[in-house]
A and B are shown apart, each in its own frame.
Chain A
């Protein structure tokens, strides 16, 4: 079943190109630090050198090797993005279906809660909470971004399940006396699988961009390296105005390539799986 489902995807050129870029960056982040085992927090050599054979991406103000920082930063950013997505998704996948299946007062309360979290600007709240945390690990950052990002997803899932729940086969299952849990897992969740997967990707983007934003404002992870932290130091050390392009251009390119390839993967999937968008 999976094979026939995903086969049309590989006919989409857009999908192939974007997933290749994504896999390439994931490899950069995972295999890169192993193939280029330079300590990203160490002091490798001369200050502010442009890219050369010895330092492929140059060095920063403290003589740190920027290639090592970017490779390890990519890993951290991917990790934060992934974890953010797992957290947001778990909350949404619990609240959305419960709201839709239970209905009534449970639905009212859960949706009121969802709408309140939705209207609180999450990047601002993340900034405020992060201010009070003196130690912020990558996990803490992901947790912060994750617990604030889920509302739109919970709402969309609720709406989709509401439209599924009135179909014949679900009614039959209800008549057969299936429990709510079994109903959710067997009849409803498969129906929202593609949408959920696409949302997961968007959550990852949110996590990656959110980490970069928090870091730039000075509230990123307090230890380790991430793409956001590389950018933050570039800004603090006035790299932009002093023309040290090799410091801030590569991490930005990785962020944009990563998030836009992920976004293009979702649109390609949408074009394949959504009949209304399919090319005629």
Chain B
């Protein structure tokens, strides 16, 4: 990249980064306000419950109670609670878990994150590529049988929730046909190691949850790209290219490149929803990721753990958003050259 092109690029990236930082700050603030603002203060209910169970193991209960009081800073004025909360969040201290006391919530979350990333990232990228290609071909051959079939197939598939497709896949391919294992991230009784045997076992368990996300996610991309390609068909450069006698394949490539751009930003915006879907898919598959941990935290009302998971997830999404914006700026010459801010 030449020097004169660098400045608008940096400006664009800087603005995006600043916006995300603010949004992240707001998200943390929401996490802070919620338990304190909702009537019937769930935290104090929890504390009372802990006290009532105090007979069982007074020693432990008292220390849980003390940690909770300290971490939530109840009793201190709200602005002090707030600054404490923000400072600790930025230091990476997300509090102490109640259900797995005295473990730090971060220590519980860090080991499960790779599982979720491993499930989510390859599957949404695969879905994005397949879906966009399908949609582009359909739009390019609009009105043909391929187009109609792809459109109707995509319309229905895009409405199948990941987790329900997961249930169907478990039922057919695992319970009835015994082809794939229907739960877990690896065979029960094995310990995660870096051996070929374990990795193969892991991949074997990976196929069904992966497929359920890929299949349900590709429909939406196909529908979107099809419309974008149809719009693009009217563009002057297409008629010009055809007049020049360019091969159909070449024209298709031009159209494809132009219409795929908005879908890059779309990928960033869809991440939140995709993550939500993947979390539930993990629950269905008993997959050892963040969704499963969240489910456990929810059933034990482990508020610090729930908050921690939320902060980490939302942070990861913002980071991913930023990466997508970065890639977008690299591939769109209009942003690279500072002619347009993009949308």
List residues of chain A with CB under 8 Å of any chain B CB. Answer: 115-116, 118-125, 127-129, 131-134, 205, 209, 212-213, 216-219, 231, 234-235, 240-243, 245, 248-249, 252, 255-256, 259-260, 263-264, 267, 276-277, 279-280
Contacts and interface: CB of A to CB of B under 8 A. Distances in A.
A128 B306 contact: yes
Nearest to A210: B276
B171 A255 contact: no
B158 A240 contact: no
A129 B299 CA distance: 15
Contact of A240 (B175, B277, B301, B310): B175
Interface stretch (B51-59, B73-81, B96-104, B227-235): B227-235
Contacts of B160: 252, 256
Contacts of A267: 151, 155, 223
Contacts of B170: 240-241
Interface string B28-53: 00110011001010100100000000
B222 interface: no
A119 B159 contact: no
B164 A252 contact: yes
28 contacts: A119-B19, A119-B321, A120-B26, A120-B314, A121-B271, A122-B272, A122-B273, A123-B277, A125-B30, A128-B307, A131-B303, A131-B306, A132-B42, A209-B159, A212-B161, A213-B276, A213-B277, A216-B283, A217-B279, A218-B295, A252-B167, A255-B159, A255-B164, A256-B156, A256-B159, A256-B160, A256-B161, A259-B159
B4 interface: no
Contacts of A277: 227, 230
Interface hub of A123, A132, A231, A255 (most chain B Cβ within 10 A): A132
B319 interface: no
Nearest to B41: A132
A264 B307 CA distance: 38
A2 B119 CA distance: 49
A277 B231 CA distance: 8
A119 B119 CA distance: 22
A116 B23 contact: yes
Contact of B273 (A123, A127, A245): A123
B159 A219 contact: no
A119 B25 CA distance: 12
A144 B171 CA distance: 32
A263 B159 CA distance: 8
Contact of A231 (B155, B164, B231): B164
A18 to B, nearest CB: 9
Contact of B317 (A118, A121, A231): A121
Given A124-B310, A128-B307, A241-B170, 5 more contacts: A119-B23, A134-B42, A213-B276, A235-B284, A280-B143
